Amino acid sequence: MKTPFVSELNSEQNITTFFLVCEKELRNTREGKPYLRLELGDRSGTIEARMWDQFENAAKCINREDFVKVQARVEIYRNRPQLAVMQVRLAKPEEIDLADFLPQTKSDVGKLYAQLLEFAAAVGNPWLKQLVTGILNDPAIAGRYKRAPAAKVMHHAYLGGLLEHVVSLCGLAKLAAAHYPELDLDLLLTAAILHDVGKLDELCYDRTIGYTVEGQLLGHIVMEVQTVSKAMDAIEGFPANLKTVVKHLLISHHGEYEFGSPKLPMIREALVFHYLDDLDSKLAAARAALALESGESEWSAYSGALGRKFLRLEEFLKDFALTPPDKK
Amino acid sequence: MKTPFVSELNSEQNITTFFLVCEKELRNTREGKPYLRLELGDRSGTIEARMWDQFENAAKCINREDFVKVQARVEIYRNRPQLAVMQVRLAKPEEIDLADFLPQTKSDVGKLYAQLLEFAAAVGNPWLKQLVTGILNDPAIAGRYKRAPAAKVMHHAYLGGLLEHVVSLCGLAKLAAAHYPELDLDLLLTAAILHDVGKLDELCYDRTIGYTVEGQLLGHIVMEVQTVSKAMDAIEGFPANLKTVVKHLLISHHGEYEFGSPKLPMIREALVFHYLDDLDSKLAAARAALALESGESEWSAYSGALGRKFLRLEEFLKDFALTPPDKK
Amino acid sequence: MKTPFVSELNSEQNITTFFLVCEKELRNTREGKPYLRLELGDRSGTIEARMWDQFENAAKCINREDFVKVQARVEIYRNRPQLAVMQVRLAKPEEIDLADFLPQTKSDVGKLYAQLLEFAAAVGNPWLKQLVTGILNDPAIAGRYKRAPAAKVMHHAYLGGLLEHVVSLCGLAKLAAAHYPELDLDLLLTAAILHDVGKLDELCYDRTIGYTVEGQLLGHIVMEVQTVSKAMDAIEGFPANLKTVVKHLLISHHGEYEFGSPKLPMIREALVFHYLDDLDSKLAAARAALALESGESEWSAYSGALGRKFLRLEEFLKDFALTPPDKK
Amino acid sequence: MKTPFVSELNSEQNITTFFLVCEKELRNTREGKPYLRLELGDRSGTIEARMWDQFENAAKCINREDFVKVQARVEIYRNRPQLAVMQVRLAKPEEIDLADFLPQTKSDVGKLYAQLLEFAAAVGNPWLKQLVTGILNDPAIAGRYKRAPAAKVMHHAYLGGLLEHVVSLCGLAKLAAAHYPELDLDLLLTAAILHDVGKLDELCYDRTIGYTVEGQLLGHIVMEVQTVSKAMDAIEGFPANLKTVVKHLLISHHGEYEFGSPKLPMIREALVFHYLDDLDSKLAAARAALALESGESEWSAYSGALGRKFLRLEEFLKDFALTPPDKK
Amino acid sequence: MKTPFVSELNSEQNITTFFLVCEKELRNTREGKPYLRLELGDRSGTIEARMWDQFENAAKCINREDFVKVQARVEIYRNRPQLAVMQVRLAKPEEIDLADFLPQTKSDVGKLYAQLLEFAAAVGNPWLKQLVTGILNDPAIAGRYKRAPAAKVMHHAYLGGLLEHVVSLCGLAKLAAAHYPELDLDLLLTAAILHDVGKLDELCYDRTIGYTVEGQLLGHIVMEVQTVSKAMDAIEGFPANLKTVVKHLLISHHGEYEFGSPKLPMIREALVFHYLDDLDSKLAAARAALALESGESEWSAYSGALGRKFLRLEEFLKDFALTPPDKK
Amino acid sequence: MKTPFVSELNSEQNITTFFLVCEKELRNTREGKPYLRLELGDRSGTIEARMWDQFENAAKCINREDFVKVQARVEIYRNRPQLAVMQVRLAKPEEIDLADFLPQTKSDVGKLYAQLLEFAAAVGNPWLKQLVTGILNDPAIAGRYKRAPAAKVMHHAYLGGLLEHVVSLCGLAKLAAAHYPELDLDLLLTAAILHDVGKLDELCYDRTIGYTVEGQLLGHIVMEVQTVSKAMDAIEGFPANLKTVVKHLLISHHGEYEFGSPKLPMIREALVFHYLDDLDSKLAAARAALALESGESEWSAYSGALGRKFLRLEEFLKDFALTPPDKK
């Protein structure tokens, strides 16, 4: 792990650490003196940087989206910290831990994936089991499944976020099927495991989280319906109607046309899965808003995803223990 | 239980049974002969009835919404069954089982209420526990709580439907709190138990399910916030902020302004409870649509509440067992 | 072509012709006499029919959706014509011209398809050309493409309607590309030819126009994106990005989320194609409304698809020739 | 009244006056010299202030939201005025006139409240009269009723604004009841007087106008329905149905679900009152937009509440007198 | 006034009165006997009629929308009254009082129009006064202004309804201008008098209330902006900007785009006039719903215009006098 | 054409050229030295300017919206170019080419107008032909028609943009009428030529593009319906119903109420014209977004008018020629 992070910089400190180059520009001072202006960042934030001397080589070799190693001093300019760069060079791949540059889950990704494989293994229907285990064991998919965020900004917007979300949904699926005997657990688990598989390629998350061109033009629903269709076609004897049901679960999971589902849920499992997915996503968005500093003791930051702020309940009810200790 | 029900009548059958008078009218035939026309019903449907002789007394004593005992013969007129009434008299209260006239839950109401009391007893926070147990043990409330439907048409639209819905929600609340440690179970249970208490008086369900005038003018959300407020005010030391939280859970449970919630959920438990309530209601609506005869083997009746039909999955996938027997 | 059609029946007429059985029922008269009640139809409408004697055999052999040959007399019952059936038997397949039972295009389907193949042959880009000609020449597709309606009720709701709509769109595509040099004709033609290919299987149109279960659960957009994807994957060297572009054209052609497009048009050709498709469909809906008898001389029947009536311009401006004869 | 106000400061002026501390921060110059940065305000606006010497004590004692007495000099920094503070100390409560710090009505609050009491006294129905006079004469309420704004930003967003709005509505109620004999004046006056009573506690308006936590979680409609319910319950013999009517007037006054009314107006007086309330609020919003400097001679500032600008009619029609002097 | 009206017919009664022919048809009985079937109506409703003998001449001369004089006997057929017609002939124009066939205001139209002229005469601005008095005194307009309904179904849907609505609005305009000194009364009166002048030609109301073709294609807003523009252009010296203001008042009076106003109100008088117009219309719709028999003692008929039922307040509060007698 | 444009200025350059004064202000430095601050612009952008000496006269004579001749030196201040003004004077009208200050079409306006006149001359219906040629040949109109933009920001937002849009629409009208024989070309051409004539006065485009007050209050639809009505009234014998049809084409061309059309298209030509207008406008908006630098190689700038970005197809498909050279 790199040190220090942008959020930890102190005035007058001398540092040597790695950054992602967010912007690069050659400029002149008012007096006409040229300098190299950079914006440098890591997962904790960004900072302005200037290099006044011997920057010609750097200006040539270094580009936006490069990782660099920087030796610099932290100064305050117009009441904001700024780096005066003494030396800068391209970082070597092996020097960089991508986790320093993209926010990521606090959970253990390996364990989460093992849990997911267990859920898949518990699917009883032989075709669905072969489908989900086949996809999860495809190395091309597994690698990305462990890294992908669930979204750019809405919820679980960090590396491993998708996996975290899916494992949570598998757990909810089991609970829902136990509570409502009319629901088929296998379909719920299949929906949970596959419903966002299109996000592996809809999003790009190498150095920052964004959308691929294909992701913009097609969206994860259309992308995953193809991936999963191919996988089903490759399984001999997979019943045609079951294929239709699986595809329906995928394409209806947003629940409403205006959220990009071309069909409304018309199977009970599709209806229930939509609610579980929505619940887990929205609760994650509330959690994220509450985790941010808001400047108000009793309220979270404003959640754009939910269009509101959330109450910090423990603060509002701080005068007494909501749940008595012996009941916890 | 009465016998036969309207849905069981056969042509040329002689019957003696009880009905609710849905309509009453004195008419003349084209030839000027007067007769008494009735529409009679029970929980299974309604039927036209005519009385041609000695109906003067009946015409005087019997009114709309009365229960009557009828001796009649089933005839076919214009291809529809119709009753030719020989004798009719007002039924005595003790002869009538209201359950014959209003649809009702198939579950055991006594057991359900016992379960609900157990959920209430399991609330850890002393004020919330006192609140919910106090309300559930209030005899004026308990009697109605066991009878009330959850709605007129949308979901759980039968006697005992509200109780069934609430017990299901308490179960979901426990599952959700176990799945998401950040959620407070006591608040979820309190929301589940109290969120529709206003429906006890918003609806009337003596002989048919409808709305009271007060229910129309105020709605269950406003009605229950008053009931619950009074109950909280009556508990000494109930913390003021906790009162606000409980009221917020009640008024935000519809989740959106357009569904009649004057505030959006701004507490995580309120957000989650809204989803659980919505999920349980919508799944019940799907279940009800699937239970109706639709004339199409693969599709349910159209659900007005959900704006769609549902697939009969077992019919669509009838060629194989979705879940293999050894996995069930 | 059968004769007479339902719409041509006259009172007291004796007829021998073919019908589709829309409903079949065994009933009793008020006096207890059993009879066979049928609802019979062809593309011009439906009529009640009763068979009073020797119907036992017919009642056994004949079912809903069967084609039958009927000998009957037209009577008036309650001011409506009704058939008194003397004889009825199952029709042989070779006796039936399906065109008598489903509304169909007035154009020559063979010529239309030839035109479509010409448009396909004029595509310049080699991969796109191979794609569209391959699909149109696939016998399994061509047969259905020549029969399919474009919709159940909205527009071009008759056999051959889809083909008519697509050929019209190809023509518009050529005009648009000529008018706007920035547009690529090949993409527009590809969109026109493939954008509703999913309807071949979304709809069923053997004896009446309806939806297949797969069509209801997936919709033609999702269905065709798979068909076309497979066809592209089967063409060696088809560029990956061009595949994405083709799929985007298909999935965005409804133009808005609420009309079931999971993505908005983000390529100029997709934007323009959406407008052309919408224009051709809506004009067809207006045309259909104007073709119906409405009971008002100056207004068309109400178009549910467009939410309005249309003015019969020639009636409103009948006092003069809008376009002078020498200018036509 | 304090002098000068922020809006009256001139460059190079020496001042001694009172301010509200909006922000407080300790900072360093680029050269490392520490200083105290403040943002100071009153009802006319805010200004940056810096204290360079002997600020240690001030930095300790003074906090955000404190009132302070300041001796300073007005300087221009980056073309904006800024205060160079020489001395600062906490103000004593008796030195502060809150009216200097919050915008407030230009009307005489005492007279307005007397008018309101007259309207209340004119209510004919004995229960309604007792209800409204009781509430208005409750000292805990009267004090807040005279101070409360009607909103944070939408309309009448200044101290006394609520009272001004309500008195205007009482006047409108009288006019409406005189114009439409079918309307009951007592109900309209009751609605006018009580419809925003919940705002007394929904908003906080001690030093700035904002929302209380309770106000955010419950909203004034739910809050006032409880206040008014309690007051009605405390009046012996208050008819139950009249209670329901009063509550309906309160909860339906926003007129639409999406504006937070859980029920639509279903009584004529409720319908009319909604229009009067909306009219008075929206006209006040237009008035406020017109009162602001907009930089365009013929147009008001943009009103966020109304989503438009308003024409300055007197400017647009300045070439002639709209109403001739002898007609005014 | 004709007698009896359809709503007053009694079984076995012999009548001679006038009707409007709503439908005419030649039919045969099941036995092949021809007869003339008519649907006859007046402002109170419609009734089926049959003529069995000597109807050949009537069948030739009489058409839909004709007024006829009928001698007939009231019989009951299938429990509904029906006329057995003995004689029928075309009515002479002088025999017909159109008021018997179209619902009309209960007010005195002459007095209402005199009131309207007084309001116009009270306009102070000389150009506006000339404009409104000129239009109201135009005989071609005055005649229609006294007859026109305000709408086909929404509100004031009876002859004279428009005039009633406008006179009410003039009264409201005076009250509003007195209440809000910032409003110009002349503009409000001008708006009230002219805002629906387009309805004189948008609707047709000779024998039934409907829309003209021009009314359908253009709507009253576009129609009246032209009428009023011409009138202003004909007044010498009418200031150009004042013309724009008047037109803006007309075109913005529906208040929202979706209600057909091409511009939102951007002048205070336009904003206020929109509210007054909306209030008067909606209250009239509530009044109309309350005037209908609904079958429920406490609720009005359902108002399609308002999307709800209204409470019969006097019924709900019948146990006491809302306003004590000495206060009325 | 002036030189240099703002976008061409280089640091340390001495220039003498013309600008539009966008802002003017007298200011003091922190040290109290007064100076004249200007914001100067031309069609390529704006730049800050300061005049330190002998600016008293300039400060008096020069105002916002004036054209000035400036002698200055380009300096860099805070990394942005800024003008140090040596001399400034008012420009003479004959020195200014307005085209230097407002963006304008790249097409030859004279040729476009000639094309438009040809389209008008091709109208076959004599009244429509007289109408459109009369309007286009009205010198007061022709001058503005050649200059007007089609919008402030949405599409064709440059001088001559309206003409360019209309000529394109006339071309589309011809293509559509050829493709759909049921459409009347004369009506389509009339709609194309007249549908935005109101924009000539709705917008002002002398020095910048904005709205007139009349334009804001009435909008181009209402404005043009009057202009065109007058022109039709002035043509003897113009059929009344044809007038209605022309007006309907104008007022319905936005296609939906929420886009300001007070009526939906109810004539086939109106429906089709709406689509053509929408298509041409939206494609122009896409074209404009693609013409802007966006910082992303594969995506256009975000189009506010369309709510999305557009793909740069040639970039995304750069690896091969979409259309093979021999097919172009």
Q: Give the highest mean pLDDT range of A30-34, E250-254, E315-319.
A: E250-254
User: What Rg do the C-alpha atoms of chain D give, in angstroms?
Assistant: 24
- Residues of E226-263 as b/e, b for ≥16 C-beta within 10 angstroms? bbbbebbeeeeebeebbbbbbbbbbbbbbbebeebbbb
Please provide the average confidence, as pLDDT, over all residues in chain B. 90
Residue A149 dihedral angles phi and psi, to the nearest 5°:
-80, 165
**Closest C-alpha to A165, from A185, A143, A136, A194:** A194
Residue C12, token pair as written in the block: 């007291």
Q: Is the pLDDT of residue D324 over 70?
A: no
Residue A186 dihedral angles phi and psi, to the nearest 5°:
-60, -40
Residue of C nearest to F315 (CA): C241
- The percentage of chain E sitting over the pLDDT mark of 90, rounded to a whole number, equals 60
CB-CB under 8 Å, F30 with D77: yes
Please provide the average confidence, as pLDDT, over all residues in chain C. 90
Q: Is the pLDDT of residue D328 over 80?
A: no
CB-CB under 8 Å, A316 with D30: no
For residue A308, CA distances in Å to A297, D212, F214 come to 16, 15, 40
How far does Cα B187 stand from its chain's mean position? 25
Q: Is the pLDDT of residue E30 over 60?
A: no
Cross-chain CB nearest to D76 (options F30, F213, F217): F30
List the single best residue of B30, B39, B48 to mutate versus E (max E Cβ within 10 A): B30
Lowest model confidence (mean pLDDT) among A82-91, B284-293, C75-84, E221-230:
C75-84
A interface toward C at CB cutoff 8 Å? 213-214, 216-219, 221-222, 225-226, 229, 241, 244-245, 247-248, 251, 257-263, 266-267
Residue D65, token pair as written in the block: 């939201």
pLDDT band at B234 (very low <50, low <70, confident <90, very high): very high
Residue of E nearest to C315 (CA): E213
Chains A and B touch (3+ CB pairs under 8 A): yes
pLDDT band at D7 (very low <50, low <70, confident <90, very high): confident
pLDDT band at D325 (very low <50, low <70, confident <90, very high): low
Reported residue count of chain B is 328
- Residues of F62-76 as b/e, b for ≥16 C-beta within 10 angstroms? beeeebbbbebebbb
pLDDT of residue D28: 67
DSSP strands (E only) in chain B? 14-28, 34-42, 45-51, 67-77, 80-90, 203-204, 210-211
* Run of H or E residues at B131: helix B126-137
Compute the distance between CA of residue E268 and CA of residue E274 in angstroms, rounded to an integer.
Answer: 10
CB-CB under 8 Å, E214 with F251: no
Q: Is the pLDDT of residue A30 over 60?
A: no
pLDDT of residue D104: 84
One-letter amino acid for residue F29 of the chain: T
D32-41 residue pLDDT tens: 677 888 989 8
User: What Rg do the C-alpha atoms of chain A give, in angstroms?
Assistant: 24
Q: Is the pLDDT of residue A140 over 60?
A: yes
Chain F contacts of E251, Cβ < 8 Å? 218-219, 222, 262
F interface toward E at CB cutoff 8 Å? 213-214, 216-219, 221-222, 225-226, 229, 241, 244-245, 247-248, 251, 257-263, 266-267
Compute the distance between CA of residue D211 and CA of residue D194 in angstroms, rounded to an integer.
Answer: 19
A218-259 residue pLDDT tens: 999 999 999 999 999 999 999 999 999 999 999 999 998 888
- CA of E199, closest CA in chain F: separation in Å? 14
pLDDT band at D310 (very low <50, low <70, confident <90, very high): very high
pLDDT of residue D65: 80
CB-CB under 8 Å, C247 with A222: yes
Chains E and A touch (3+ CB pairs under 8 A): no
Q: Is the pLDDT of residue B128 over 90?
A: yes
Residue of A nearest to D29 (CA): A79
Q: Is the pLDDT of residue C225 over 80?
A: yes
Query: How large is the greatest C-alpha to C-alpha distance in chain A, in angstroms?
Result: 78
CB-CB under 8 Å, C298 with E30: no
pLDDT of residue C31: 58
* Run of H or E residues at C260: none
CB atoms within 10 A of CB B183: 19
pLDDT of residue D320: 79
pLDDT of residue A78: 59
Residue of E nearest to B29 (CA): E79
Residue A41, token pair as written in the block: 């960042």
Chain D contacts of A12, Cβ < 8 Å? 32
Q: Give the highest mean pLDDT range of B265-269, F151-155, F206-210, F292-296.
A: B265-269
pLDDT band at A305 (very low <50, low <70, confident <90, very high): confident
Residue of D nearest to A313 (CA): D213
- CA of A76, closest CA in chain D: separation in Å? 5
Task: Let me know the angle formed at the C-alpha of A43 by A39 and A49, rounded to the nearest 5 degrees.
Answer: 20
Residues 6+ apart with CB under 8 A from E84: E49, E50, E51, E52, E72, E73, E75
Using H for helix, E for strand and C for coil, what is the string for chain E? CCCCCHHHCCCCCEEEEEEEEEEEEEEECCCCCEEEEEEEEECCEEEEEEECCCCHHHHHHCCCCCEEEEEEEEEEECCEEEEEEEEEEECCHHHCCHHHCCCECCCCHHHHHHHHHHHHHCCCCHHHHHHHHHHHHCHHHHHHHHHCCCCCCCCCCCECHHHHHHHHHHHHHHHHHHHCCCCCHHHHHHHHHHCCCCHHHHEECCCCCEECHHHHHHHHHHHHHHHHHHHHHCCCCCCHHHHHHHHHHHHCCCCCHHHCCCCCCCCHHHHHHHHHHHHHHHHHHHHHHHHCCCCCCCECCCECCCCECCECHHHHCCCCCCCCHHHC
The subunits that touch chain E, with at least 3 C-beta pairs less than 8 Å apart, are B, C, D, F
pLDDT of residue C328: 54
User: What Rg do the C-alpha atoms of chain F give, in angstroms?
Assistant: 24
* For residues F20-42, average pLDDT: 78
Q: Is the pLDDT of residue C30 over 60?
A: no
* For residues D253-269, average pLDDT: 92
pLDDT of residue F184: 97
Strand, helix or coil for residue D84: strand
**Closest C-alpha to C249, from C190, C299, C307:** C190
Residue of B nearest to C213 (CA): B298
E95-151 residue pLDDT tens: 998 878 888 888 999 999 999 999 999 999 999 999 999 999 999 999 999 999 988
pLDDT band at D207 (very low <50, low <70, confident <90, very high): confident
Please provide the average confidence, as pLDDT, over all residues in chain F. 90
Compute the distance between CA of residue A190 and CA of residue A201 in angstroms, rounded to an integer.
Answer: 19
* Run of H or E residues at A90: strand A80-90
Q: Are strands D14-28 and D67-77 parallel, antiparallel or unpaired?
A: antiparallel
pLDDT band at F76 (very low <50, low <70, confident <90, very high): confident
- How many Cβ pairs closer than 8 A exist between chain A and D? 16
E150-180 residue pLDDT tens: 887 667 888 899 999 999 999 999 999 999 9
Please provide the average confidence, as pLDDT, over all residues in chain A. 90
* For residues D290-302, average pLDDT: 81
For residue C297, CA distances in Å to A320, C252, C308, D29, E202 come to 78, 40, 16, 85, 18
| More confident call, F220 vs C81 | F220
pLDDT of residue E282: 96
Strand, helix or coil for residue A181: coil
| More confident call, B165 vs F301 | B165
Chain D contacts of F32, Cβ < 8 Å? 11-12, 76
E interface toward F at CB cutoff 8 Å? 213-214, 216-219, 221-222, 225-226, 229, 241, 244-245, 247-248, 251, 257-263, 266-267
List the single best residue of F77, F79, F314 to mutate versus A (max A Cβ within 10 A): F79
Lowest model confidence (mean pLDDT) among B94-103, D165-174, D289-298:
D289-298
- The percentage of chain B sitting over the pLDDT mark of 70, rounded to a whole number, equals 94
Q: Is the pLDDT of residue F111 over 90?
A: yes
Chain F contacts of C185, Cβ < 8 Å? 323
pLDDT band at A9 (very low <50, low <70, confident <90, very high): confident
Residue of E nearest to B216 (CA): E311
A68-104 residue pLDDT tens: 999 999 887 755 778 999 999 999 989 998 878 888 8
pTM for the whole thing?
0.86
Cross-chain CB nearest to E76 (options B28, B216, B217): B28
Q: Is the pLDDT of residue D81 over 70?
A: yes
pLDDT band at D60 (very low <50, low <70, confident <90, very high): confident
CB-CB under 8 Å, A218 with C244: yes
C98-113 residue pLDDT tens: 878 888 898 999 999 9
pLDDT of residue A227: 96
Chain A contacts of C251, Cβ < 8 Å? 218-219, 222, 262
Chain E contacts of C312, Cβ < 8 Å? none
* For residues D278-295, average pLDDT: 89
pLDDT band at F178 (very low <50, low <70, confident <90, very high): very high
CB-CB under 8 Å, B30 with E311: no
pLDDT of residue E57: 87
pLDDT of residue E79: 58
- CA of D6, closest CA in chain A: separation in Å? 25
* For residues C236-256, average pLDDT: 96
* For residues B167-189, average pLDDT: 97
**Closest C-alpha to D91, from D101, D81, D82, D83:** D101
pLDDT band at A324 (very low <50, low <70, confident <90, very high): low
How far does Cα A144 stand from its chain's mean position? 12
**Closest C-alpha to C184, from C253, C275, C267:** C267
* Run of H or E residues at A301: none
**Closest C-alpha to C155, from C10, C26, C23, C283:** C283
pLDDT band at D315 (very low <50, low <70, confident <90, very high): very high
CB-CB under 8 Å, F78 with A217: no
pLDDT of residue F326: 62
pLDDT of residue A284: 95
User: What Rg do the C-alpha atoms of chain B give, in angstroms?
Assistant: 24
CB-CB under 8 Å, C311 with E30: no
Strand, helix or coil for residue A24: strand
List the single best residue of D257, D267, D271 to mutate versus B (max B Cβ within 10 A): D257
Residue B26, token pair as written in the block: 């004195």
Residue of E nearest to C76 (CA): E30
Compute the distance between CA of residue D239 and CA of residue D105 in angstroms, rounded to an integer.
Answer: 38
The subunits that touch chain D, with at least 3 C-beta pairs less than 8 Å apart, are A, B, E, F
List the single best residue of E235, E268, E290, E302 to mutate versus D (max D Cβ within 10 A): E268
Cross-chain CB nearest to F267 (options C268, C287, C313): C313
Compute the distance between CA of residue C142 and CA of residue F152 in angstroms, rounded to an integer.
Answer: 49
B63-97 residue pLDDT tens: 878 899 999 998 877 557 789 999 999 999 899 98
Phi-psi region of C34 (alpha: psi -120 to 50; beta: other; left: phi over 0): beta
- The percentage of chain A sitting over the pLDDT mark of 70, rounded to a whole number, equals 94
Residue D33 dihedral angles phi and psi, to the nearest 5°:
-80, 125
Please provide the average confidence, as pLDDT, over all residues in chain D. 90
